[in-house]
Chains A and B, each alone.
Chain A
Amino acid sequence: MKASGKINRKANGTAPGGSHKRTLVWLQSGGCGGCTLSLICAEQPDFLTVLDLAGIQLLWHPALSEASGSEVRAILDSVRSGETPLDILCIEGSVVHGPNGSGRFHLQSGSGEPMKDVIAELCRLAGTVIAVGTCAAFGGVTAAGENHVEATGIAYSGSVAGGLFDPSFRGRSGLRVINISGCPVHPDWVIETLLQLSLGVFTEADLDSLGRPKFYAEHLVHHGCPRNEYYEYKASAEHLSNLGCLMENLGCMATQVHADCNIRLWNGDGSCTRGGYPCISCTEPGFENQTHPYLETPKLAGIPIGLPTDMPKAWFVALAALSKAATPHRVKANAIADYIITAPSAAKGKAPK
């Protein structure tokens, strides 16, 4: 279904300041709770202020709400009976189908119902379904290894469309499942999605081919990486804590991974590569089952296999050879040091003292 802006506005309710508050239920299943913990790191403003601003009424959130036990069951029953309309459903963690499709690896506490059935029922009632984190989006780490717990995402299993639901699933608003992937999510990715929904401006066209909001998924983790100069010259780190590019030897996938981690930054001014760690592609489906150790770059004839997807390999090899030959001493020396040992020249043509 194509969701026009007009239909979307109506389905999503009124704009902030209007009388109708959008209701939100947050459920956790086969995950670690890390996306919630990341979300409450939100700053300027904090998550609770965002909810006020977006006109969102938290019917229930497992980490934040007062309601417990029978009170929670009453809230969920009221949604399930249709008495309380549900505008936004956020699912954190993967859907656990095992063992043998029974869902018994995750029964909802207090009711004993398989959580996968509770999630499915609420998804069908929700205006918009948001899969928060890579587990809910694609299966994530809970689906790693042999996946003996039979974990999937809501709308995807790895990169294959179809998880708990088949690809035709739409929320009442007409939108497909919004996959805010990331392990964990950046708090701003969730907040900006909620704010856009509340403004009634978020449409299917704002999602990439995997259902991820384009506002963060149209960037690569490589963008804004402070190691870019090392990348330009293929001046590579030899081991962790070196300053050089982490792509050639240490498994960094930032040039292929969709996210704005090095533009938006985390917890003030961090990112994995700024912290000295290679990008492990946590926003991508299947990141949990790499065919190589995370800290190793798979190579063929000395050349990394996982090159940027939109660049001809021969060009990459040729350019890399050229740039390696032209690497300034400064860049080459610093790449294999833990801190800057050779500073840029103070002025053009003048050697550093």
Chain B
Amino acid sequence: MSRRIVGPFNRVEGDLEIKLEIEDETVKSAWVNSPLYRGFERILNGKDPRDALVYTPRICGICSVSQSMAAAEALAEAQGLAAPANGRLMQNIILATENVADHFTHFYLFFMPDFARPVYAGEPWFGDIAARFKAVEGTAAREILPARAAFLHIMGRLAGHWPHTLGLQPGGTTHAIDRAEQARVLAIVAAFRRFLETRTFGDALERVIALKSADELRDWALRPGPAASDFGQFLRLAEALSLDKLGRATDRFLSYGAYRQDGGHLFKRGVHAGGKNAALNVADISEDVGASWYARSGGPRHPSCGITVPNADASDAYSWCKAPRLAGHVVEVGALARQLIDGHPLLRDLVKASGGNVANRVIGRLIEIARVVLAIEDWTRLIVPREAFYIDAEMPAEAEGAGLIEAARGSLGHWLTIRKGRIQNYQIVAPTTWNFSPRDSAGVPGACEQALAGAPVRAGEKDPVAVQHIVRSFDPCMVCTVH
């Protein structure tokens, strides 16, 4: 039995350290630590409730709009406010743009470069992968930076800028677009779609999202267009390295539902376990601090009455991250969870065969890129210029609200209490808080901790490459996690 500490972890947003216990060239146990605490929940105490829209996006520079959207929803609930149709469409477009840009950036800049490491130099696919995906030097980075930047022009056009966009409000959005801007947004999306269809997928997005099973995906990836695409290259190496056998966690999934429309969501809300969907009971959510550097608060608490008092000397603690649980269970969140709960047949089939794992998380993310880009097109067409995008309303002096949304990395919740016109309590449970949770009071490891158990360690490896793949398959956002 040997122990080692892996860190700093790069190409992960924020700070992450992992302690591994290794035996027989296999990870036996993992302890995931977020070693940075900034204390946003405490910063917000006593502030004007509307100021949450200035502070909470700054929890994270990679998913700032998601934080903004969750805050706007929590405030809207406190105000009893619903955005007009245009405002809701604009919020969806703005949030979707960030989520798509995040998945895209993750695939090309954060995840794929690990397959261009020298440890894989002997593999038959290595030459092509290294030329395309090597960090900084590969051709992909040079191509995707301009494509990503051009796509984010949607943010400049609709909401001023990104990150730390301020245009999302409880009552809609702050900039009413006209027909010319509507056309411009469609043009920006079309250009990005062209990049995706040429380089990422090698096929029309409609054909990508219509894939129904693992067999169909395998056949599709052999066709000339897809085979030469970046997704096609990933699918080949995923098969060669058996990435579907790597990084399985609890196979219990959660989604708050993504992109509100017509009383529901584009992607359904719910829980998925044992191959079946079940309804989400929000009251079942709790946060445990048994292994976290916080003052003990008498057992797990629902976030609406959560407490955040840092204590660097807390006994048995090893992370600034709290441990969220759903009815006491560890759950996994993210694009795979969303697509599974929404019932996408391909992801249902893949998870049925091999569960949640490195390969399926990445496939879930790429299928979601295709689905959401098509949705952005639809929402943009549905905007009716010269009708309302925003409604104004008073902020009550006494109120509560919760904003439950889906960020790229999974379920994000803000819980807010207003007393005497000021924020009395503000609690945030971020996607990576779920996925990179430490152990709870019962000693149960979090999702990534469970996914790391069983990871192979090659002879002489200081920073096992399998550990890197598993960690990055969740696309962790550690600055959100602890906030």
Contact = CB atoms under 8 A, between A and B. Distances in A.
Interface of A: 28-38, 40-43, 46-49, 58, 60-73, 96, 99, 102, 104-111, 115, 141-142, 144-146, 148-149, 151, 183-184, 239-241, 265-277, 280, 282, 293-296, 338-339
Given A62-B8, A65-B136, A106-B36, 14 more contacts: A33-B479, A43-B150, A66-B135, A68-B11, A68-B463, A141-B43, A146-B42, A149-B38, A240-B390, A266-B156, A271-B161, A275-B159, A276-B174, A296-B48
A119 B39 CA distance: 21
A267 B156 contact: yes
Interface stretch (B57-65, B248-256, B337-345, B438-446): B57-65
A115 B468 CA distance: 23
Contacts of B53: 294
Contact of B479 (A32, A68, A69, A109): A32
Contact of B109 (A64, A109, A141): A64
B312 A33 contact: no
Contacts of A29: 36
B10 A62 contact: yes
B225 interface: no
Given A148-B39, A275-B166, A33 B14 contact: yes
Interface in B1-44: 5-11, 13-17, 33, 35-39, 42-44
A241 B176 contact: yes
A183 B166 CA distance: 12
Interface in B129-173: 134-136, 141-142, 145-146, 148-150, 152-153, 155-167, 169, 171-173
A294 B54 contact: yes
A72 B11 CA distance: 12
B152 A267 contact: yes
A338 B155 contact: no
Interface in B193-243: none
Nearest to B479: A32
A34 B5 contact: no
Interface string B47-84: 11011011100111110100000000000000000000
Contact of B43 (A46, A145, A282): A145
B6 A110 contact: yes
Nearest to A294: B54
A64 B136 contact: yes
B interface bracket (residues with beta carbon within 8 Å of A): 35 or more
Tell me if A's interface is mostly helix, strand, loop or mixed: loop
B163 A38 contact: yes
A339 B164 CA distance: 24
B136 A99 contact: no
Interface stretch (B281-289, B381-389, B398-406, B408-416): B381-389
Given A110-B17, A271-B161, A277-B167, A42 B479 contact: no
B156 A269 contact: yes
A73 B389 CA distance: 50
Contacts of A46: 142, 145-146, 149
Contact of B145 (A33, A48, A107): A48
Contacts of B174: 240-241, 275-277
Contact of B388 (A58, A144, A183, A338): A338
A47 B146 CA distance: 10
Contact of A41 (B13, B149, B169): B149
Contacts of A104: 312
Contact of B60 (A32, A63, A66): A32
Contacts of A144: 43, 55
Contacts of A146: 42
A184 B163 contact: yes
Contact of B17 (A109, A270, A295): A109
B46 interface: yes
A43 B43 CA distance: 35
B470 to A, nearest CB: 13
Nearest to A73: B8
B231 to A, nearest CB: 21
A177 B11 CA distance: 27
Contacts of B163: 32, 34, 37-38, 184
B424 interface: no
Contact of B169 (A37, A102, A108, A240): A240
A68 B55 contact: no
A289 B6 CA distance: 37
A65 B385 contact: no
A270 B155 contact: yes
Contact of A34 (B62, B142, B167, B178): B62
A266 to B, nearest CB: 3
Contacts of B39: 148-149
26 contacts: A32-B58, A32-B479, A34-B64, A37-B163, A62-B10, A63-B10, A63-B11, A66-B134, A67-B10, A69-B8, A73-B8, A106-B36, A108-B7, A144-B55, A146-B42, A239-B392, A240-B171, A266-B156, A267-B153, A267-B157, A270-B157, A275-B161, A277-B166, A294-B53, A295-B50, A339-B178
Nearest to B16: A109
A64 B163 CA distance: 18
Given A241-B174, A272-B160, A105 B136 contact: no
A268 B156 contact: yes
Nearest to A115: B36
Contact of A105 (B135, B149, B310): B310
B326 interface: no
Contacts of A63: 10-11, 13, 109-110
B166 A33 contact: no
Closest 7 CB pairs of A and B: A34-B61, A275-B160, A270-B156, A276-B174, A109-B7, A267-B156, A110-B7
Contacts of A141: 43, 55, 58
A34 B42 CA distance: 21
Nearest to A265: B156
Contacts of B58: 32, 34, 141, 183
Contacts of A295: 50
B396 to A, nearest CB: 15
A41 B482 CA distance: 26
Nearest to A62: B10
A99 B142 contact: no
A226 B332 CA distance: 46
A115 B14 CA distance: 13
A272 B61 contact: no
Given A43-B150, A109-B35, A267-B152, A339 B463 contact: no
B10 A241 contact: no
A46 B105 CA distance: 14
B15 A106 contact: yes
A266 B161 contact: yes
A104 to B, nearest CB: 5
A253 to B, nearest CB: 12
A73 B463 CA distance: 12
Nearest to B171: A240
A32 B61 contact: yes
B462 A338 contact: no
B175 interface: yes
A349 B45 CA distance: 56
A338 B35 contact: no
A294 B50 contact: yes
A2 B159 CA distance: 43
B267 to A, nearest CB: 24
A67 B114 CA distance: 9
A64 B138 CA distance: 11
Given A272-B161, A277-B166, A148 B42 contact: yes
B173 A71 contact: no
B161 A270 contact: yes
